[in-house]
Amino acid sequence: MCKPRIKKKGTYQMLSVLISKKFYGSYKNYISLKNFFYNTVFQKDKRILHSNDLLFRCVSFFNEAKYKDLLLAPRMTDKIASFIIEERPFDDFKHLQRKLYECPRGGLILQAYVDGLENRSVIENILEDCKLQSKKIQCTIHPHQEIGLKWLVLMHKLNLNAILADEMGLGKTIQIIAFLSYLKKESIKGPHLIIVPSSTVENWMYELKSWAPSIKILTYYGTLDERRHLRAMATDNTIDVLLTTYSMVGSKVEDRKFFKRFKINYVIYDEGHLLKNCSTERYKNLMKIHGERKILLTGTPLQNNLVELISLIYFTMTKLFRKYCNDVNQLLNQFQQKAPMMEAKNSMLYESEKIEQAKAILQPYILRRLKSDVLENLPIKHDRIIFCSMIDEQKRIYRDLMWEFKELSAKGKKVVTSKLMQLRQISNHPLLYRSRYTDDRVVKIAKVLCKKEETYYKKNPEHVAEDLSFLSDFAISQLCSKYKSTRKFCLNEDVALISGKFEVFDELLPKIKSQSDKVLIFSQFTAMMDIIEVYLKIRKYKCCRLDGATPVMERQELINKFNSSEDIFVFLLSTKAGGLGINLTTANHIIIHDIDFNPYNDKQAEDRCHRMGQKKEVYVVRLISSGTIEEEMLTIAQKKLQLEKEITGGNINGTKFVSLHEEGKSYLLIIFIRKTRTKRGCMHKKKDKEEKKYVEDIKIVHILQPSSI
């Protein structure tokens, strides 16, 4: 271990010592050595203080060390080293102590050496304790996970909250389970509360049972009656872990009261993005849970955003924070007030300075590793963007909508967000817009429903027709298929195949299938997922589906089914429900059918299979409809990722990005329409390569606060 370098920075002195790369890689400010252990940990560990073994090692060193080795001891000088060689051998520690105190500064050298041995002993004891925890765990953890465990143990001994921010796919779940096993071995009683997204609760149950079967778990999830019974069971002193979801914690008044009064040791927040914005009601409810300590798990790094940073400071140092400010919003409002024009520049500089200070404060509490740093054998991930030419029907609908927007703009009317959503949907599939079902046809369907179907007997046909007019072609066809009287109005299933992106599906999926690989398909919209399901059925590809409506207790079963069955070729997932905390490494192809404004949602989706356990190279394909709003979304997403790299220390091609002062708004959405002449690039389909035409193009400046990333 290298000689420690002490940085004195007030109350952070004990957390500012850097140790060798061999122990903690290149990650700074996580472990301290000299003052850190001497003032906190080793004084609590009486096993090593002035033990016979320690004193024997001390005497042995001063008796046997060569001159050059003596000079390496703390505070050693040439004169004192020569004195030691002349006076030795020393019979015992008292003899050594007496002789060195006869020499000026000799006593200080002896004390410094003893301190060093004591500090080293503490580290050795902690590492030994971490190794012993493996007896409680049924599987072997990876080296980087063992390092994460050691860091959690050190934070525990210091009585500090922690943020484990490893990149997605590095096994944060396993590190927490190993840490809980350590606590159980040390007889540190729970219960400990783990709060997770609904999509991951079954995975947590499975991992806890697999890795640490001796840990007794109670899952707090179910109906009102079931939860009432579970609240009574939670009083059992033998329970080690209470597992629940974010929705359950704040679901009903009874739930909130229960968690507020329940005595908890550790509160562990998985995928804790909700704790990055202290202005939300959910954040306030979560912070009312009184745990002795807290651990936040997140796969996203710190952002250049004061709201997020203050939220995390409040999370890690709640007691200290409350000494200065009882209301978090009170502090935030001071930063979010509009500054006068002359003061705007100074305000931005001041905020930028405070952001850097907040990051420095948080750094010792955060451990973050990247897959590229710790997983040397992780297969390569290939990213590819395919620009898809829309079919003629899509182009016509898209062009008509653009003219409509232009007319609204000319009249000085705002183009609302719902119109932008229509453009996104048309870019994906023409059936997500109503064009095949004309107004006359909708009226006929409404009349038939009100005349022949019991559900609609008492309804006014005009009102029914009005409701139907807001639905897409696909939704109307699905509705008609439910009733015998309206099945004649259903669209032919083959129309689901007519889409520019599905033409790319027809090129990609057979190739993937021929390689005996599996594929994950992600979409933002459940309506689009319905159409993709129809496509997969027609093409005879077996699939599983998981979205927000999938019951929580069925999700892990679907994941297991996909991972174990060779017949299931496709897993269809919604980006948000299927993009968090699940393991699908049996697939190595990902198709993102429609991208998100927030690139981190798509990155989380990618990491469902590009993670530990993946044995094949991973191929990620993003489908972008040419000449549409999706091209602008892609540009925005790429700029956000560039900004993130710059914020975390990377300078991309010499470009410097400046954070924007957003005057307290959650986001700014500026829409303007312009006519522009475009020439298709070489990435587009061949038939469009030399096509020149005027297109109506929407340009969007969509500036999201980093806290939403």
**140-166 confidence digits (pLDDT tens):** 778 888 888 989 998 898 888 888 988
- Residue 681's pLDDT band, with cuts at 50, 70 and 90, is very low
**553-591 confidence digits (pLDDT tens):** 788 888 888 988 889 999 999 888 776 667 888 999 999
The pTM score is 0.61
Q: What is the pLDDT of residue 505?
A: 93
pLDDT of residue 409 exceeding 90: no
- Residue 302's pLDDT band, with cuts at 50, 70 and 90, is low
Cβ within 8 Å of residue 664, ≥6 positions away = 336, 337, 338
Q: What is the mean pLDDT of residues 378-386?
A: 88
- Residue 350's pLDDT band, with cuts at 50, 70 and 90, is low
If one compares 59 and 646, the residue with the highest pLDDT of the two is 59
**Is beta strand 667-679 parallel, antiparallel or unpaired with respect to 692-704?**
antiparallel
Q: Which of the given ranges, 18-22, 119-123, 218-222, 649-653, has the highest pLDDT on average?
A: 218-222
As a whole number of angstroms, the distance between CA 654 and CA 546 comes to 42
As a whole number of angstroms, the distance between CA 122 and CA 435 comes to 73
381-390+497-708 CATH fold: Rossmann fold (3.40.50)
Q: What letter represents residue 478's amino acid? A: Q
pLDDT of residue 643 exceeding 80: no
As a whole number of angstroms, the distance between CA 238 and CA 233 comes to 10
**19-49 confidence digits (pLDDT tens):** 333 333 333 333 333 343 334 333 433 333 3
Q: What is the pLDDT of residue 301?
A: 63
Among 109-113, 390-394, 573-577, 668-672, the minimum mean pLDDT is found in 668-672
Q: What is the mean pLDDT of residues 668-695?
A: 35
Among 5, 104, 124, CA closest to 57: 124
Output b/e per residue, 190-224; b: 16+ Cβ within 10 A: bbbbbbbbbbbbbbbbebbeebbeebebbbbbeee
pLDDT of residue 518 exceeding 90: yes
DSSP labels, 232-271: HHTT-TT--EEEEEHHHHTSSHHHHHHHHHS-EEEEEETT
Task: Work out the percent of the chain whose per-residue pLDDT is above 70.
Answer: 72
Q: What is the pLDDT of residue 299?
A: 79
- Residue 225's pLDDT band, with cuts at 50, 70 and 90, is confident
Q: What share of the chain is helix, strand, coil (3-state, %, to 5)?
A: 55, 15, 35
If one compares 48 and 451, the residue with the highest pLDDT of the two is 451
Task: State the span(s) of the chain assigned CATH 3.40.50.300.
Answer: 381-390+497-708
If one compares 576 and 473, the residue with the highest pLDDT of the two is 473
Q: What is the pLDDT of residue 127?
A: 58
pLDDT of residue 286 exceeding 80: yes
As a whole number of angstroms, the distance between CA 234 and CA 571 comes to 36
Task: State the span(s) of the chain assigned CATH 3.40.50.10810.
Answer: 138-374
Among 85-99, 254-268, 595-609, 682-696, the minimum mean pLDDT is found in 682-696
As a whole number of angstroms, the distance between CA 299 and CA 164 comes to 8
Q: What letter represents residue 452's amino acid? A: K
As a whole number of angstroms, the distance between CA 157 and CA 254 comes to 34
pLDDT of residue 436 exceeding 70: yes
DSSP labels, 95-156: HHHHHHHHSTTHHHHHHHHHHHHHHHHHHHHHHHHHHHGGGG-SSPPPHHHHHHHHHHHHHH
Determine contact, residues 594/633, Cβ cutoff 8 Å.
no
pLDDT of residue 520 exceeding 90: yes
Q: Which CATH number fits domain 138-374: 3.40.50.1000, 2.40.10.10, 2.40.50.140, 3.40.50.10810?
A: 3.40.50.10810
- Residue 639's pLDDT band, with cuts at 50, 70 and 90, is confident
As a whole number of angstroms, the distance between CA 695 and CA 676 comes to 6
Q: How many CB atoms lie within 10 A of CB 593?
A: 25
As a whole number of angstroms, the distance between CA 622 and CA 642 comes to 18
Q: What is the pLDDT of residue 551?
A: 82
Arithmetic mean of pLDDT over the chain: 74
Q: What is the pLDDT of residue 1?
A: 37
Q: What is the pLDDT of residue 619?
A: 93
As a whole number of angstroms, the distance between CA 591 and CA 605 comes to 10
Q: What letter represents residue 46's amino acid? A: K
Q: What is the pLDDT of residue 3?
A: 38
pLDDT of residue 635 exceeding 90: no
Q: What is the mean pLDDT of residues 528-550?
A: 91
**Is beta strand 543-546 parallel, antiparallel or unpaired with respect to 570-574?**
parallel
Q: DSSP 3-state assignment of 424?
A: helix
pLDDT of residue 535 exceeding 90: yes
- How many C-alpha atoms does 405 have within 13 Å on its Cβ side? 24
Q: What is the pLDDT of residue 306?
A: 67
Q: What is the pLDDT of residue 116?
A: 78
Among 61-65, 299-303, 643-647, the minimum mean pLDDT is found in 643-647
Q: What is the pLDDT of residue 325?
A: 58
Among 571, 420, 437, 426, CA closest to 501: 426
Among 178-192, 302-316, 597-611, 627-641, the minimum mean pLDDT is found in 302-316
pLDDT of residue 85 exceeding 80: yes
Q: What is the pLDDT of residue 688?
A: 44
